[in-house]
């Protein structure tokens, strides 16, 4: 009986419950920040966050339940892109509410969790020394600039107006 209770189905139901609660907490914090920072109406941005959370939940669920080795990030991107297609019946409602949530409001909350989460790596970071820091800074800067410069050249070559 114990094995049965601890079985896979129960864990996944339990998991979904946890995901929903976490996403609800995240949504509430984001909406508060969104209201303070950008003065978007609370009710509309809550609906927007609920929609984004639902897309996330679908993607996360599909990653675990479907038999393909595909990251949830890709599922979420595809669902979001398809639902927002200009010709889709869902796009009007979705865009209205989602546009009430500023990207930067989401990012601000997200990075607070990132900051707390990166605390664990602090000691390892301190032990790495200045050489590793120099190389890392160079890697990030050259990757970013390489990407920007190539993109710029191709954009200019294909005649995209600024």
Partner 1 sequence: MCWAGEGIISNNDNETKEIQHIYRNKTDKRILKKNPWKDYGLHLSVLLLVIIAELIGPIEINLTKGVTVSIMPLLYTMVLGLIFYLAKPIKWIQRKQSRVAEGAMMLFIGVLIAKLAVSSGQSIHLIFEMGPALILQELGHLATIFIALPVALLLGFKRETIGMTNSIGREPEVAVVVDKYGFNSPESRGIFALFIVGTIIGTVFISFLTSICVSVLPLHPYAFAMASGVGSASMNAASLGPTLAAFPSLETSIEAFAGFSNLLSFSIGIYIVIFIALPLTEKLYGFLEPKIGKKDVVNQQGGK
Query: Is 50 a binder of partner 1 (CB under 8 A)?
Result: no
Q: Shortest distance, CB of residue 5 to partner 1, whole angstroms?
A: 15
Nearest Cα to Cα of residue 31 among 48, 51, 17? 48
Binding partner 1 by CB under 8 A: which of 45, 46, 47, 83? 83
Binding partner 1 by CB under 8 A: which of 46, 47, 56, 100? 56
Query: Is 66 a binder of partner 1 (CB under 8 A)?
Result: no
- Here the tokens at position 82 are 């398809």
Q: Shortest distance, CB of residue 140 to partner 1, whole angstroms?
A: 6
Query: Residue 43 or 152: which CB sits closer to partner 1?
Result: 152
Query: Is 95 a binder of partner 1 (CB under 8 A)?
Result: yes
H helix intervals, the chain: 2-5, 8-38, 42-65, 72-84, 91-98, 103-118, 122-128, 130-157
Query: Is 82 a binder of partner 1 (CB under 8 A)?
Result: yes
Q: Say how far residue 30 (Cα) sits from the centre of its chain.
A: 13
Query: Is 151 a binder of partner 1 (CB under 8 A)?
Result: yes
CB 53 within 8 A of CB 32: no
Q: Say how far residue 51 (Cα) sits from the centre of its chain.
A: 13
Query: Is 33 a binder of partner 1 (CB under 8 A)?
Result: yes
HSE toward the beta carbon, residue 95, CA cutoff 13 A: 12
Q: Shortest distance, CB of residue 84 to partner 1, whole angstroms?
A: 3
Query: Is 7 a binder of partner 1 (CB under 8 A)?
Result: no
Query: Is 146 a binder of partner 1 (CB under 8 A)?
Result: yes
Q: Shortest distance, CB of residue 43 to partner 1, whole angstroms?
A: 18
Query: Is 43 a binder of partner 1 (CB under 8 A)?
Result: no
Helix axes 42-65, 72-84, angle to 10 degrees: 130
């Amino acid at each position: 009986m114990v094995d049965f209770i601890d079985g896979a189905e129960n864990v996944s139901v339990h998991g979904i419950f946890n995901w929903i609660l976490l996403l609800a907490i995240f949504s509430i914090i984001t909406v508060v920040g969104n209201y303070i920072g950008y003065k978007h109406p609370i009710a509309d941005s809550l609906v927007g966050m609920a929609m984004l959370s639902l897309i996330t939940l679908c993607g996360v669920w599909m990653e675990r339940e479907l038999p393909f080795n595909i990251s949830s990030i890709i599922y979420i991107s595809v669902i979001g892109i398809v639902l927002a297609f200009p010709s889709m019946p869902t796009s009007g409602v979705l865009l209205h509410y989602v546009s009430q949530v500023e990207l930067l409001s989401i990012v601000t909350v997200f990075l607070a969790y990132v900051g707390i989460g990166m605390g664990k790596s602090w000691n390892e970071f301190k032990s790495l020394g200045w050489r590793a820091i120099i190389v890392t800074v160079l890697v990030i800067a050259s990757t970013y600039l390489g990407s920007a410069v190539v993109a710029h050249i191709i954009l200019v070559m294909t005649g995209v107006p600024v």
